[in-house]
Structure 1
Amino acid sequence: MKERLVQARLLPVRGTPGCGKTVLMNLLHAYILKHFPSALVKVQHSWPPRESGPTLEECLQKLDPGFPRPNTITFLLFDEGQDSYSDDILWNAFFKEVSYAGSYRQYRVVLFCSYGSPSSRLRSYHIGARDDARISLRPREGSIGILLKRSEFDEVVSLYERKLNLNPDLLDLIFDWTVGHVGAVIKMLHVISYQRVPDTRRGVQLTVEAFHAENPTHKLVQALAGGAFERGLPKVMELSAQPDVVALFRNLLKNGAIDMNENAADEAIRKCHRHGWIHADRTANGAITRYVFPSPLHTMAISWRLEPTNDMPHFPSLFDLAIAAISEFKPSQLHIPLHRASPQSTDKPSKPQYQDEFYRSVFSVTFGNVCLSAEFTSAREARVAGCIDFFIPAVKWGIELTREGNQLNEHSSRFTNSGAYEAWLNSGDMNDYILLDCCTSIPSKQFPEIQNLFHVVFQDGYKKVDVYDNMTKLVKGSIVLLENHQ
């Protein structure tokens, strides 16, 4: 960090709302005072608009009364640094000179920004910041990131203000769902800290099963409202007034990421980027920018904020919808690793890979009327009981996938009178559910106690599917899968 501060001169720090930029700025302030005792540090919380106001020199002198200081290293820390993007003169006359060690070579500038870069006409100056001097959510090679590393996440949990006693598997789940996004981590800990308090006081660990029992997906989405995490999400009213943003979100939910040249980004992408609802990172191909949601938890929350469309086709039953989605599977998609799939090698598709293809298909047949779980968006290969993977809000149907009979008893237990989804089912918030077991051979064991279970058996190199019920009775045979589905 010390070398970066000395060498970078102009250091952009980019992250979506609630990821901890302001806290990082305050920590950096203290760090500079400790490690650069002869330097000055000035903080600007928001750069003022200057259309008809003070000159650039007057603004800089207000920030640093001794400006310009030719003989003293001076650090300028800009919170809400994106407010400076519209100030052509600030970037052309000051930041450019700082970046290239020109007239203001004694200054070091750190910009904490909620999104990308200045306008296109200024981008050549912004590129004055080297790649290894850019700090974003996720670390690039030779750089660092804002997201918490696992060791930092564990420290945050240990220092949380309310007593917690979390099972290691639940800690893994929270880290996977939040990817170390500070606002998401703190919100999850806040929600959990008020649940099963008597058990916590008695030293009983909160397990993944207990977490899901307390937090069916629809209730978790409600509980996540408010706080720093909420600042990174659009309000429902904002979405209803911006159909272009809704269309972009549906596209992003379907594909997981959008890659394009930054100059070609349309207004919807620019709008979402400016608000911090999506994050942008440069790919290995420097000309291409990848737009993604900040974390799996953000992805889940946004999918639940989108209002169902009125053009969803009618399906007589959830089983009919499931068959329609399965019929849209593309064999090749089960042979190749997908963008959400786990990196672990296997000779059979992983659960996340089956989930990915089912989501693509159910998204298509419902015209995008599907909500996601954080379990799905994080591509976790669940080691213990998980949660509903997909929810169709227009008809209140829940869909869960498993693979090769994995943990069928744990999955089914969530739909019993004592299971995690009892309240969801009994309240009418979920009208029906289905459990789909994706496998490559007919199961030898029957499961009479597991209702609504269907084995989806792929054969002939994933070109044909037969569907069996919980008693291994064939209920839908010879579904031929093609590559040319739209």
Structure 2
Amino acid sequence: MGLWPTDHSPVGLHFTQTEFSEYVRQRSDCCIDEELERCFFLWTSGHIGAITALYGILQTANILAQPRSSKFSLAEFEAAAPSLEKFVHELGGACELKKGLPPQSLITDVGRPSFAAFFRRLLRHGSLFCTERRILDVQYDDLDQWVFLDDPIHGDTCLTAIRQGWVFTSACGNFPNTVIISLSTPLLQCWFSYHLIPCELEASFESPLDLVCQVTALFRPSLLRDPPVRFGTPLESRYLTEFYRAASALTDGAIVLSPDFGTNPDRESQGRIDFLLAHKKWGIELTRDGNRLDGGRDPRFQNYGQRLEEGDMTQYIFVDYRVTQPVQSHPDVPHLYHVVFDDMFEDHVILKGSDLSVICHGSHGSFPKV
């Protein structure tokens, strides 16, 4: 039995959308509404163990003890695990998912640094390419995204992750004898990002806005203009991907991912923040071209206010990335800033959402301080 996949078949023990919907209908002990069903499937990619773990979070919540005639909603699920920290803790404790995760001691910088470095690279890029050896006459776009099995350190680490089932491999059609390595569900991305937080935050930021300014300056214009075919993602998803890649590099992996990361780029509603700067408990939500700017009518801002009161977050920022100038201010949307790119994504201006005043100008590779 080799390590290389023989076709593009999905990994086992995953429900299709139809199978998952049937499973939900059969769970008469814990009925969920359509929005929560949709989120569960997006977060888990149909992974049976992950689905069971999410149901377990609902079943252990106090809301189950209350008599009810309606189905559980996304808001009620969030009430059961209101913070990313609690969500990840509940998730990692689920026996259905725990057996597919590496020991936490293995992915610390003081445990096995090679494993921590490997999974940080995997999160930063979203996927890695793995092949037997580097070929000298082949030009690789980004060497950091490649793992060569003849490397005595990184190669052995990668093979261990594959053999233990901690990562998912799929065939790569663009390169011979190469597989694409990824994490099988967004929930696993969330879990790994939380457990790979460094002990200290070496980078210095004066505010969430300062963080956004520095991260945006590290965006790669070429990937926003002409993303690789393998991304196949709308622009909002590319903003999210670039933000995490740049923020992760800037903070040495101190950014925790939401389970929503990479699931639904055209989402109309958002259950959680997209990112959390763990050491400062700063929440960051991204949108594109003014999407979801409903102001005080949006219940998620009330949820953010509750998390601030409870200490799950200390501050948050809502960032609207766009290529068109906004014409309407949003004084009712707290902590909103617009980042307006030029057509080539080389230069940008940051505007305050409440009155459209200019905060600063920036360009690729520069770091404006605010």
Greater RCO structure (CA 8 Å; 6+ sep) = 2
Q: What SS is found at the alignment partner of 2:51? A: helix
Moved more, 249-258 or 380-389: 380-389
Match of residue 79 from structure 1: none
State the shift of 1:470 in Å: 2.0
Amino acid at match of 2:58: I
Gaps (5+ residues) in structure 2?
Answer: 134-147, 150-154
Aligned length: 341
Query: Which letter maps to 2:167?
Result: I
Normalising by structure 1, report the TM-score.
0.64
Please name the residue that 1:71 is paired with: none
1:423-464 deviation line (CA, Å, top 9, x unaligned): 432232321111101122232222212221111111243221
* One of 249, 252, 260 as aligned partner of 2:119: 249
Q: Is 1:453 aligned with 2:336?
A: yes
Q: 1:311 to 1:279 in 2, by over 3 A?
A: same
- CA apart distance, 1:262: 4.6
What's 1:308 paired with? 198
Judge conservation of contact 2:255–2:278 (CA < 8 Å) in 1.
yes
Shift of 1:328: 1.3
Q: Does 1:237 align with 2:105?
A: yes
> Which residue of structure 2 aligns with residue 149 of structure 1?
16
Aligned in 2, Cα 1:439/1:211: closer, same or farther, shift over 3 Å? Answer: farther
Letter matched to residue 88 of structure 2: V
Counterpart CA distance in 1 for 2:236 and 2:226 is: 13
Residue in 2 that maps onto 1:322? 212
Residues 470 and 252 (structure 1 numbering): CA distance in 2 closer, same or farther, change over 3 Å? same
Q: 2:248 corresponds to which residue?
A: 363
Cα contact 1:200–1:206 (8 A) shared by 2: no
Give the counterpart of 1:466 among 341, 349, 356: 349
The residue number in structure 2 matching 1:176 is: 42
CA distance in 2, matches of 1:179, 1:199: 30
What secondary structure is seen at the aligned counterpart in 1 of 2:118? helix
What is the CA–CA distance in structure 2 between the aligned matches of 1:340 and 1:477, rounded to whole Å?
34
Q: In terms of Rg, which structure is larger? A: 1
Q: Which runs of 5+ in 1 are unaligned?
A: 1-11, 13-115, 118-126, 139-144, 344-348
Q: Identity across aligned pairs (percent)?
A: 28
Q: Rate the CA distance shift 1:188–1:415 in 2: closer, same or farther, 3 A.
A: closer
The one-letter code matched in structure 2 to 1:159 is Q
CA–CA separation in structure 1 for the residues paired with 2:79 and 2:176: 45
CA deviation vs aligned residue, 1:189-208 (integer Å, no higher than 9, x gap): 222345543777222x3333
Q: CA deviation at 1:313?
A: 1.1
Q: TM-score by structure 2 length?
A: 0.82
Instruction: Find the aligned partners of 1:201 and 1:342 in 2 and give their Cα distance.
Output: 42
1:202 is matched with which residue?
69
Aligned residue number for residue 476 of structure 1? 359
Q: 1:238 to 1:443 in 2, by over 3 A?
A: same
Distance change >3 Å, CA 373–CA 412, structure 1 → 2: farther
Q: Which residue of 1 aligns with 2:159?
A: 270
- Does the CA-based 8 Å contact 2:197-2:255 persist in structure 1? no
| Residues 401-429 of structure 1: per-residue CA shift (max 9 Å, x gap) | 0111111226984565xx22344322323
* 1:80 equivalent in structure 2: none
Q: Does 1:212 align with 2:97?
A: no
Is 2:198–2:252's contact at 8 Å kept on the other side of the alignment?
Answer: no
Q: For 1:392, which of 277, 281, 292 is the aligned residue? A: 277
Letter of the 2:273 partner, please give it: I
| Cα offset, 1:156, TM superposition | 1.7
Partner secondary structure for residue 294 of structure 2 = helix
Distance in 2 (alpha carbons) for counterparts of 1:425 and 1:308: 23
